[in-house]
Homo-oligomer: A and B are copies of this chain.
Amino acid sequence: MNNFNYYIPTRIFFGPGSIKELGTAKLPGEKALIVISAGPSMKKYGYLQKVQELLTNNNTESVVFDKILPNPVKSHVMEGAELARKEKCDFILGLGGGSSIDSAKSIALMVKNPGDYWDYIHGGGGLGKGFKEPVLPVVAITTTAGTGTEADPWTVITNEELHEKIGFGGDDFFPVMSIVDPEMMLSIPPGLTAYQGFDAFFHAAEGYIANIATPVSDIYALKSIALLAEFLPVAVKNGKDLEARTKIALANTLSGMVESTSSCTSEHSMEHALSAFHPSLPHGAGLIMLSESYFKYFAEVCPKRLMEMSKAMGEAGKKPADFITALIKLQKNCGVADLKMSDYGIEKNEINKIAENAHHTMGGLYDMDRKTLSLEETIKIITAAYK
């Protein structure tokens, strides 16, 4: 019977075609910095042009910053903030996947606050300073179903020099408005669909076993897990299936709401360490590689929670191992059961370094586990996951 706080002030427009809301909704400023990835897709599929057109219809100016990498980096946060200042933007619009939206949140911090982004970061080499100036309002338009960042106050940025990939955020970082339009997700290729879907899955699953889970985060988490178990394989198989895309988009937004009301756990610390050293490793793929070993460990810590999750996935839910069975089945159905760390150049002799990085940079999430893992236990979990 936990006490809890609930606070998700974001206005979310959800559903096929909901992008049109951008043309009429009350926006938080007069000139947007549109933050998109360095890749071609936002232009190729016409999403950028659509957003620019709707902003114009809504009497709002905009300028584009198009340098964001899949694992977004600090130098681009600083560069984007500089551009927003120069162009006198008064809000930041993140368009794309988690990398663009997270970058938008971090840029929003740095437009008015002085110094370096890492000055404000807690953990690793961050200085953990408080910020005194306001964070600019953020509008999030998500074109993937993975991070849930459109419904949470978190942003994950990598410091390239320090090899630190660290989450940061708080109440000031909730998007004021988010648009989740599954029609803008139809072109995601199968592999990425699976990786992103599993990222959402683990936000829900970790949030469900976290020690700060609440009755409200629990209902979001179980619904998200149920939707992903049913519809992620469908969306991986046929990316044009709008119903399946809509269901996994909903699962993802619910997972963001889990992030806002509960927390990720140390599985995310471990994955951030993996991809901090191996930036080509997709975050979702890293999580999938770690998951069997990680959740087997927690099967003994919170067996009932694993049973409930397995029930949401259509298993009998009579023993905690049912969750592992369901997890592997879902991975197989999505074609991602055979991912290997070695395929991404991760070597076995790096495991100690990776485990240390996980504790050093994202130690906070270890406090969210129902049983606190030692460095040795982290090493064991990663070693068991190594293929």
Q: A-side interface residues toward B, CB under 8 Å? A: 1-18, 215-216, 219-220, 223, 243, 246, 250, 254
Contact = CB atoms under 8 A, between A and B. Distances in A.
Given A219-B219, A220-B219, A250-B215, A6 B15 contact: no
Given A2-B15, A3-B13, A215-B223, 5 more contacts: A1-B246, A6-B14, A7-B12, A9-B9, A9-B11
Given A219-B220, A220-B219, A7 B15 contact: no
A141 to B, nearest CB: 15
A16 B2 CA distance: 9
A180 to B, nearest CB: 10
What is the predominant secondary structure among interface residues of chain A facing chain B?
mixed
Contacts of A6: 10-12, 14
Nearest to A4: B14
A219 B16 CA distance: 21
Copies in the complex: 2
A238 to B, nearest CB: 16
Contact of A3 (B4, B14, B215): B14
Nearest to A6: B12
A246 B215 CA distance: 11
Given A220-B219, A250-B215, A18 B3 contact: yes
A17 B3 contact: yes
Given A219-B219, A223-B219, A250-B215, A243 B5 contact: no
A384 B243 CA distance: 41
Most chain B CB within 10 A, of A4, A18, A254, is at A4
B9 A15 contact: no
B5 A13 contact: yes
A216 B246 CA distance: 13
B8 A8 contact: yes
A7 B2 CA distance: 24
A12 B1 contact: no
A16 to B, nearest CB: 7
10 contacts: A1-B15, A1-B16, A1-B243, A1-B246, A3-B13, A3-B18, A5-B13, A6-B14, A7-B10, A8-B8
Contacts of A216: 254
A172 to B, nearest CB: 12
